[in-house]
Amino acid sequence: MITVGLLIGQWQLALYGLLGTIISTLTAYIIGLDYGSIRAGLYGYNGCLTAMAIANFSFGFHSPLIIGPIVLMSACSTIFLVAIAKLVALRLGLSPFTFSSQMCSLLWLLGAMKFRYFFVDETLLTSGLLKTFIEKPILSNITITKYSVIDIFAGFPASVSQVYFINNPLTGIIILLGILICSPILSFFALFGAITGQLSAAYLFGLPAETIRMGFGGYNSVLTCQALGGMFFVLSGYSIWFFTLFGSIMSVIVQAAIAVFFSPIGIPPLLLPSIFISWIFCLMAESSKNMIAVTLLAVSIPEDHLRRFHLTTLVKANFGFLNNLSTILQKSRHDNDKSIEDLATIEAEFLPILLCSYAYQNNINNLKALLHEGADVNSTDYDLRSPLHLAACGGKSELCFLLVKNFRANVNLVDEFGGTPLYDAFCHGNFHLIPFLYAWGARMPVSKTKELAFCLCAFSFEGNLKAVQYLVACGVNPNLADYNGRTALHLAVCANNFSIVKYLIEEGKASLSIPDYYNQTPMQYALHLTDNSIANYLQHCRDQTSKQKPRKINIFMQDISIVDDDDNNQEQENNNEKPSENILVTVEESLLPALFCMAAAEGDVKQMANLLEQFPEFHADSVDYDFRSAAHVAAAEGQLCSIQFLCEYLYAKNQDLSWIKREDRWGFSPIEEAYHYGHYDVANYLIECIKSNPNLISSNPKQNFKIKPAVISMRQWKKILHFSALASNNEAELIDGLLSTGIFSSSESYADYDGRTPMHLAAANGHLNVVKVLQLHGYDGKTQKDRWGNSALDEARRKKFTEIIDILLEDIV
């Protein structure tokens, strides 16, 4: 819209401005400057103003000769901007504003006076319209300059258009409307600057009516008020209005002073007054308690700054200890410019933690207060967890409805662990949430396809019809096979679960002809059952295949949302769960573990020590709302120094190291996290810590929360899948570590629904090292039989792995 206004005001000048924008942007590309800054237009606006200034002050800008200087100086504006930013932005923390365009414009205008083939419009440069009264009248004969209503009101929008060297009130109005679309606050302050600047110029200097009508008195004030009134300062409190008004008036005074200073050479002040005043106020901002400056990297539109300020106020209202914490973080980070008072820092780092904490605690009122103030409902913490993830884990129906329906939360956000809200709801047994989430577009994550297929097989074997129904309804294909080529229908038939067999075929369209590892189909297994019901049913289905019409999933979802009578009881049971000791209870207790985890993830031992020193009641082994401790996060990030600090600190405090085996929400310990992300030095260090304390080896991993029976079953199956995958992938070192530390118990076989153990899979895949490790920890490869009566030794013989056969026969490692 601004471009349209410029074209209406003076289309030739607007086209030159467009040319300057293109040239300065291309220069940034050629130099290889930051792509994000180029896309944001940071290198285009200086070229635009440079081109328009040269064209405006050149005599006869219709001549094509003017294109050469415009191209040259527009390119220079980008180069000058980079150089000026090194000095002004990096050292002083100030915005370069349009200083590079002013320098390029002035250099050309001064040089053009000596150029042979380029002419400067001296009548415009030295016009009385740009100068104040030099010859003052006698004091007794002073008369007040009279202005008509048209002079006054036409001059206000004209001041806005004069920023682009165009004298057209209509252009000024269109520019204001264009700014209004992007930022109403900036549009208001542009008009505010035009009004105060024009009135100040008329009062202080008694400018001629023509000068006021053309807007020459307020164009610098327009830019100054935009900079001070919300762009580089938070629009909060009465003080900012005083500073903005004062800056507007001072821009007029400085404009007059520079005009007089430049008058001998006939050069206009351009936009230098607004740059000078804005720099002065930005430099003094840190010394003023009544001005909240916005750091250069966090500059956005005033509405964003105001939203951040309101959010910060709410955050501080909930975290009463932030003032003390600010000093701690500032000292530990060695960065005086970045503290918790930084609004962008609070929004980016602490607000997601606060939102997730409220979601975990089901604190709907405080959560709504933050969201109504503009907090992003999809903001995520250091593990990419959103409030909806936590609400789904906790089975909070009302909260899920609020986040999805009222605030349009993204139902398919994927966290660091590959989970979506729908996946979390299922894995935590909150089946009552699945129809609602699915109806709003939630889906299972693609990365969990194999895991979900295994769970479908396991639940089909167990006879858990509800879990099977929900998995199939959520899009899990019942024809997907596990590592033995077995589908859910294979397992349902083998377990003689007729209701699940019927559901998989009629609703899930399960195939009757898929062979497994032993080349057996579900029909062949059914023929071996003593009960002929399933065999007869399968035979009937095979004959009637062409007539089957699978039921639509969305209809199933509508039905189960009505017929599940026990869902309310299930949700009530979930809400009554209480966390164990050291689990966060208050909002303050949720922030400290999160901050401690963030410091551990960065390897910032000094910050970790400061937090423990300043908050004596805080425990180093405390966990966040996902029951993850600093050890989990540090292990995942490979921060050995953080792990060493935790061990040494807790040892000095005579506290045990049970936190090393503590499992998070997904059943993973810090050792497993270290191995999973390939940080073997961290894993080995933790293993040695446990080995040095024999009592830890025999102890069971500490549970952080009460688990429902359905979830216990699911976690057991997932652990079997995890162990089986390790054996199949030849992860001998990891298996040894997990068994040595007691995270995996050597007294359990970890057999799947077909009786196949990790030893079976290791032998079948020829993984000699895994077989040795398992045998070292007491696993027998000869007596444990699977569904088909085969032992690990039989698998090795079938594949002719002679070394494995010898080891299993002789029991030699």
- 479 token code pair: 């024809």
CATH number at 486 reads: 1.25.40.20
- List the one residue out of 456, 458, 442, 446 whose CA is nearest residue 507: 456
Strand positions, DSSP E, 431-474: none
Residue 705's DSSP bridge partners are 579
pLDDT of residue 570: 46
Residue 584 placed within a domain = no
pLDDT of residue 413: 95
Residue 591 placed within a domain = no
pLDDT of residue 523: 92
Residues 692 and 746 in one domain: no
pLDDT of residue 351: 80
Domain total of the chain: 6
Residues 119 and 10 in one domain: yes
Residues 237 and 346 in one domain: no
Residues 175 and 273 in one domain: yes
Residues 669 and 718 in one domain: no
pLDDT of residue 346: 60
**635 — phi, psi (to 5°)?**
-65, -40
Residue 351 placed within a domain = yes
Instruction: Write down which residue in 106, 125, 144 finishes a domain.
Output: 125
Residues 139 and 280 in one domain: yes
Residue 742 placed within a domain = yes
Residues 12 and 101 in one domain: yes
pLDDT of residue 287: 73
Residues 164 and 44 in one domain: no
Amino acid residing at 211? T
Low-confidence ranges of the chain (pLDDT < 50): 123, 125-132, 327-341, 550-555, 560-585, 812-813
**Tens digit of pLDDT for each residue in 55-85?**
888 765 567 778 888 899 999 999 999 999 8
Question: How is 271-333 classified by DSSP, letter by letter?
Answer: THHHHHHHHHHHHHGGG-TT--BPPGGG---HHHHHHHHHHHHHHHHH-TTHHHHHHHHHHHH
Instruction: Write down which residue in 283, 298, 313 finishes a domain.
Output: 298
Residues 354 and 409 in one domain: yes
Q: What is the rounded distance in angstroms from the CA atom of residue 759 to the CA atom of residue 796?
A: 10
CATH number at 7 reads: 1.10.3430.10
Residues 111 and 182 in one domain: no
CB 243 within 8 A of CB 228: yes
617 Cβ contact list (under 8 Å, min separation 6): none
- SS3 assignment for 509-578: CCCCCCCCCCCCCHHHHHCCCCCCHHHHHHHHHHHCHHHCCCCCHHHHHHHHHHHCCCHHHHHHHHHCCC
Count of residues in the chain: 813
Range of the domain at 406: 304-439
Residue 160 placed within a domain = yes
Residue 65 placed within a domain = yes
Residues 294 and 325 in one domain: no
Residue 69 placed within a domain = yes
Instruction: Write down which residue in 504, 526, 559 finishes a domain.
Output: 559
Residue 593 placed within a domain = no
Residues 610 and 549 in one domain: no
pLDDT of residue 652: 85
